């Protein structure tokens, strides 16, 4: 008994000593406008002991020492170190906004090429989590980035069909990364935002690096790099429920929950959402889901593992095309595919299944990451990832003689994509840091046509298909399509994919692209000077396999393996004139491999190689100046990008008067993009934030190109020299400007507004036609956020109401022109100087959305 009492006394002593030895630290973290920053990280300096702020920005932290310091960080803000001595309330800690991403609780942080990883600056803009949450609404990612310099967002007409131009380059030439993982299509670099509709729900921050950027991968992006960062490990338990409604029957429901990090190092985060709507353009209805799962494990201070799975299965009706006059006569919501044609049963148009085309896709992405802190000087970050894409564009097929609906024909684009990115970081000494790594990917693209939905028939005989007469058979004898496999449901397409070549027709081919590269970077920093040198080398192997139009009946034909070696070199330096002023200059040269679609004659008809295709040569030069003070900060960037020996592919009419099908590959094209960008960030009054930007570009084609023209059988029908010298590059506005402001009217009420101006916007057509300049326009958006104060102790930790109104003044504007007909001599054939017989699309009029969000 005496022994037992002694044990109890000893245990009580140690418990008391532990409690007495802890220092309780409290405080509140706010932003530059005094708004609470929920989810900010507060960590005792030199340890992993940390906490996160609640919805009101408050935190409680127990330190094991009597004195020390805490480091406070939040996405998009500069870290702040605050000292403490004894148990104390640190009061209100205000963080200053930063244009880069600071300490984010993510894994594989060494793989994610964020601008702050390097002291030598680049031209960069950051959209933070709060802004994404409030302003995204029903938009694709490009719309959220429109308030950054040299960015042009084009809505496209239907859900997920948005496009983005960066410094005049389309998004096939801008690299998009999700937590360090490349997500552009490996065949052609394209981005289909319908596949990534859920990215706005899971994004913690988005960083736009214009021009050379800070990426170490051998991706050789021309326009820039967009890093989408998701928070993979949450320190604090909690979640939210959000409901949104908007114009044209749009509704979206989202729920998310995070467990925080357990004592054993485990953490779980899950998010699920559902959306649906009728679409702004007539008959462009759609619906989809978003899912996100993150499982983290921290067995010790030196290792962090995380598994992430996310996807956004969806379907949406397409917007079709139209001439300018069609929209002027029928309104900007006009959809030419909604209009019945002669002998056409348009019943399905009224049921909402098609009416002219339905995009159905499901692309789950999974990655496993490992961060290993080897010692206080070196670390290794690795990401192993994969995605399976299954989907089709499904169009209604009718009997040519009777007009009766027969079946939904699917143009399928599937893929299996796996890769690994690894980066080793070593601080060689206090002035020199080394990064080396590898990037390996393999991509199998699968393309074919199939019957995805039987309507008026139960099967389709390929040889007697009444909708088409120009398709060859699979094995030289009649065969029948009698299985729809996944049909028209994105979930079913993923789990019941058509792998039977005898159930395909029209075209049926695959390609395998294997990519492997090495990269490295050295950065030197001492006192006011920093400099870096970066290099990467990569190889791409391409093999195309034809299953339909084969030389040997019943057997597939494979192309020869095409290998292309590419590399990039980048270097730069920066000098801090003083604590408020910094100047920098960067230069880069890329030898970039051509895309798969550039290498082969046509994408659907043969394994024949296109002539004259070689690596593209890209030279980038840029310089900048940064100014920072308490109330005003500014960034000024100038750039010059020369892009030589590029290939431009078009499928279009040969000219405006000949409707015969032609496809074109124009080789040896040169583009030169020059410009300047200015960003301002100000806090002129307490509670008021005003930012602005102005960018001016001079983007032109230079010299001549060689055009190869092919007919619908893939036969070469002509070669000619195309003079494009001095033609303006179309698609993105060469002059754009914007002002954004937010004012805290009351402690719980904030009003914000954005104004954007676009000028010198040119048509985006075949390059051999001189472009047409579109009318300039400006747009105004407003938003209101209301966060009522709630009684402490309730389950609901925070409540937020948000309303967005976009294009407040219902401005009529032409956002894209896909032909370049000159203005007519007949004034009735022109609108604001534009020939109304050009194919194009007007932007959206006034739209709105409203949401309520409960944080718990």
402-427: pLDDT as tens digits: 778 888 899 999 999 999 999 999 99
- Lowest mean pLDDT: which of 325-329, 650-654, 835-839? 650-654
Between CA 460 and CA 161 the distance in angstroms is: 31
Which helix (DSSP H) or strand (DSSP E) does residue 712 occupy? none
Cβ distance 719 to 709 under 8 Å?
yes
The CATH architecture of the domain made up of 115-229 is: Beta Complex (2.170)
Report the b/e string of 428-455 with b at 16+ CB within 10 A.
Answer: eeeeebebebebbbbbbbbbbbbbbbbb
Is residue 693 very low, low, confident or very high in pLDDT (cuts 50, 70, 90)? very high
pLDDT at 14 over 50: no
What is the CATH number that goes with domain 2-94? 2.60.40.10
The pair phi, psi for residue 503, each rounded to 5°, is: -110, 25
* Beta pairing class for 224-229 and 174-178: parallel
Which residues of the chain form CATH 2.60.40.10? 2-94
Looking at CATH, the fold of the domain delimited by 238-855 is given as Maltoporin; Chain A (2.40.170)
Which residues of the chain form CATH 2.170.130.10?
115-229
Neighbours of 676 (CB within 10 A): 16
Strands 23-30 and 88-94: parallel
Specify which residues 542 forms β-bridges with. 513, 562
Beta-carbon contacts of residue 11 (< 8 Å; ≥ 6 apart): none
**pLDDT reported for residue 476:** 56
What value, to the nearest 5°, has the Cα angle with vertex 639 and ends 112 and 597? 65
Query: Does the structure show a pLDDT above 80 at 507?
Result: yes
From the list 361, 357, 316, 363, the residue with the least C-alpha distance to 338 is 357
Q: Percentage of residues in the chain with pLDDT exceeding 70?
A: 86
Confidence of residue 524 (pLDDT cuts 50, 70, 90): very high
Tens of pLDDT along 196-237? 877 888 888 888 889 887 776 666 678 888 888 887 777 678
In this predicted structure, the answer to whether residue 5 has a pLDDT above a threshold of 90 is no
What is the per-residue pLDDT for 654? 41
How does DSSP assign 355-407, residue by residue?
Answer: SS-EEEEE--EEEEEEEEE-SSSEEEEEEEEEEEEEEEEEEEEE-TTT--EEE
How many CB atoms within 10 Å of residue 473? 14
Handedness of CA 794, 796, 798, 802 (dihedral sign): negative
| pLDDT beyond 90 at 61 | no
> If we measure between CA atoms, which residue out of 586, 488, 483, 463 comes closest to residue 533?
586
pLDDT tens figures, 276-301: 999 999 888 899 999 999 999 989 88
pLDDT (0 to 100) of residue 102: 40
Residue spans in the chain of domains classed CATH 2.40.170.20: 238-855
pLDDT surpasses 50 at 12? no
- pTM score: 0.84
- With beta carbons less than 8 A apart as the criterion, state whether 519 and 502 touch: no
Asked if residues 733 and 761 have their Cβ atoms less than 8 Å apart, the reply is yes
Alpha helices in 165-214 (DSSP H): 199-202
Task: Give the per-residue pLDDT at 79.
Answer: 78
Kindly tell me the sign of the dihedral angle through the C-alpha atoms of 465, 468, 469, 474. negative
- Which DSSP category does 520 fall into? E
* Percent of residues, the chain, with pLDDT higher than 90: 47
Cα 375–chain centre separation: 34
User: If you average pLDDT over each of 339-353, 456-470, 711-725, 726-740, which comes out highest?
Assistant: 726-740
Instruction: Work out the pLDDT band at 243, boundaries 50, 70, 90.
Output: very high
Distances (CA, A) of 153 to 15, 156, 430, 796: 60, 9, 43, 37
Whether 450 shows a pLDDT value over 80: the answer reads yes
- 3-class SS of residue 71: strand
Quote the pLDDT of residue 468.
52
Q: Which of 31-35, 475-479, 624-628 has the lowest mean pLDDT?
A: 475-479
Least confident interval from 15-19, 364-368, 556-560: 15-19
**pLDDT above 60 (res 386):** yes
For the cut 90, the answer to whether the pLDDT of residue 757 exceeds it is: yes
Q: What confidence category does residue 177 fall into, taking pLDDT thresholds of 50, 70 and 90?
A: confident
Q: In the prediction, which pLDDT does 118 show? A: 63
Contacts (Cβ under 8 Å, ≥6 apart) of 27: 42, 58, 59, 82, 89, 90, 91, 92, 93
Nearest one of 561, 569, 609 to 591, comparing CA atoms:
569
- Confidence at 561, pLDDT banded by 50, 70, 90: very high
Q: Are 221 and 175 in contact (CB under 8 A)?
A: yes
């Amino acid at each position: 008994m005496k022994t037992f009492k002694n044990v109890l006394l000893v245990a009580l002593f140690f418990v008391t000593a532990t409690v007495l030895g802890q220092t309780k630290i409290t405080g509140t973290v706010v932003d530059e406008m005094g708004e609470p920053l929920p989810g900010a990280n507060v960590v005792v300096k030199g340890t992993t002991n940390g906490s996160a702020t609640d919805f009101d920005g408050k935190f409680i932290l127990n330190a094991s020492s009597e004195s020390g310091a805490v480091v406070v960080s939040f996405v998009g803000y500069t870290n702040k170190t605050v000292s403490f001595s004894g148990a104390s309330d640190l009061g209100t800690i205000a963080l200053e906004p930063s244009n880069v991403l600071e300490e984010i609780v993510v894994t594989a942080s060494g793989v994610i090429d964020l601008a702050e990883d390097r002291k030598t600056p680049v031209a960069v803009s950051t959209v933070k989590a709060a802004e994404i949450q409030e302003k995204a609404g029903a938009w694709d990612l490009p719309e959220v980035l429109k308030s950054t310099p040299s960015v042009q967002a084009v809505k496209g007409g239907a859900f997920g069909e948005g496009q983005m131009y960066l410094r005049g380059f389309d998004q096939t030439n801008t690299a998009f990364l999700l937590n360090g993982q490349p997500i552009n299509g490996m065949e052609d670099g394209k981005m289909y935002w319908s596949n990534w509709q859920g990215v706005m729900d899971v994004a913690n921050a988005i960083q736009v690096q214009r021009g050379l950027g800070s990426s170490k991968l051998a991706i050789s992006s021309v326009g820039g790099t967009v890093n989408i960062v998701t928070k993979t490990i949450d320190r604090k338990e909690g979640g939210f429920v959000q409901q949104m409604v908007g114009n044209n029957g749009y509704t979206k429901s989202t729920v998310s929950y995070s467990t925080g990090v357990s004592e054993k190092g485990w953490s779980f985060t899950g998010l699920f959402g559902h959306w649906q709507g009728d679409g702004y353009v007539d008959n462009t209805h759609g619906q989809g889901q978003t899912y996100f799962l993150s499982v983290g494990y921290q067995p010790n201070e030196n290792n962090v593992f995380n598994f992430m799975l996310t996807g956004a299965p969806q379907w949406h009706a397409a917007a079709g095309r139209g001439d300018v006059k069609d929209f002027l006569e029928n309104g900007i919501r006009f959809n030419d595919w909604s209009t019945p044609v002669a002998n056409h049963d348009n019943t399905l148009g009224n049921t909402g299944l098609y009416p002219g085309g339905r995009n159905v896709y499901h692309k789950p992405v999974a990655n496993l990451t490992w961060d290993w802190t080897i010692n206080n000087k070196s670390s290794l970050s690795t990401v192993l990832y994969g995605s399976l894409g299954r989907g089709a564009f499904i169009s209604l097929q009718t009997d040519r003689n009777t007009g009766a609906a027969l079946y939904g024909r699917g143009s399928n684009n599937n893929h299996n994509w796996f890769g690994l990115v690894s980066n080793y970081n070593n601080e060689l000494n206090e002035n020199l840091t080394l990064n080396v790594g590898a990037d390996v990917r393999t991509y199998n693209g699968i393309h074919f046509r199939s019957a995805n939905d039987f309507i008026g028939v139960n099967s389709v005989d390929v040889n007697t298909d009444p909708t088409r007469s120009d398709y060859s058979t699979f094995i030289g004898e009649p065969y029948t399509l009698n299985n729809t496999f996944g049909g028209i449901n994105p979930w079913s397409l993923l789990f019941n994919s058509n792998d039977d070549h005898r159930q395909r027709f029209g075209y049926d081919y695959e390609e395998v692209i294997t990519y492997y590269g090495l990269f490295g970077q050295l950065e030197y920093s001492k006192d006011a000077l920093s400099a870096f040198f970066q290099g990467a080398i990569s190889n791409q192997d391409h093999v195309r396999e034809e299953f339909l139009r084969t030389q040997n009946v019943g057997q597939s034909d494979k192309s020869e393996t095409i290998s292309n070696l590419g590399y990039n070199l980048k270097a730069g330096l920066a000098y801090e004139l003083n604590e408020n002023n910094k100047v920098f200059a960067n230069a880069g040269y890329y030898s970039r491999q051509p895309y798969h679609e550039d290498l082969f004659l046509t994408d659907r008809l043969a394994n024949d190689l296109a002539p004259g295709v070689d690596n593209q040569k890209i030279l980038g030069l840029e310089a900048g100046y940064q100014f920072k003070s308490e109330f005003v900060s500014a960034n000024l960037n100038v750039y010059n990008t020369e892009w030589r020996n590029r290939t431009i592919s078009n499928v279009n009419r040969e000219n405006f008067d000949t409707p015969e099908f032609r496809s074109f590959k124009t080789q040896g094209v040169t583009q030169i993009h020059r410009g300047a960008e200015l960003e301002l960030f100000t806090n002129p009054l307490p509670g008021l934030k005003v930012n602005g930007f102005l960018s001016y570009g001079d983007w032109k084609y230079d010299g001549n190109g060689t055009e190869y023209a092919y007919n619908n059988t893939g036969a070469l029908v002509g070669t000619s020299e195309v003079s494009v010298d001095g033609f303006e590059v179309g698609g993105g506005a060469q002059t754009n400007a914007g002002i954004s402001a937010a004012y805290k009217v009351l402690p719980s009420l904030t009003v914000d507004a954005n104004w954007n101006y676009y000028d010198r916007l040119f048509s985006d057509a075949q390059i051999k036609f001189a472009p047409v300049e579109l009318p300039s326009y400006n747009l105004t958006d407003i938003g209101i956020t209301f966060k009522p104060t709630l009684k402490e102790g309730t389950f609901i930790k925070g409540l937020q109401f948000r309303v967005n109104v976009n294009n407040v003044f219902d401005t009529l504007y032409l956002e894209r022109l896909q032909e370049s007909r000159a203005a007519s001599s007949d004034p009735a054939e022109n609108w604001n100087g534009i020939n109304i017989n050009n194919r194009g699309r007007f932007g959206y009029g006034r739209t709105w959305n409203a949401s309520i969000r409960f944080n718990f």
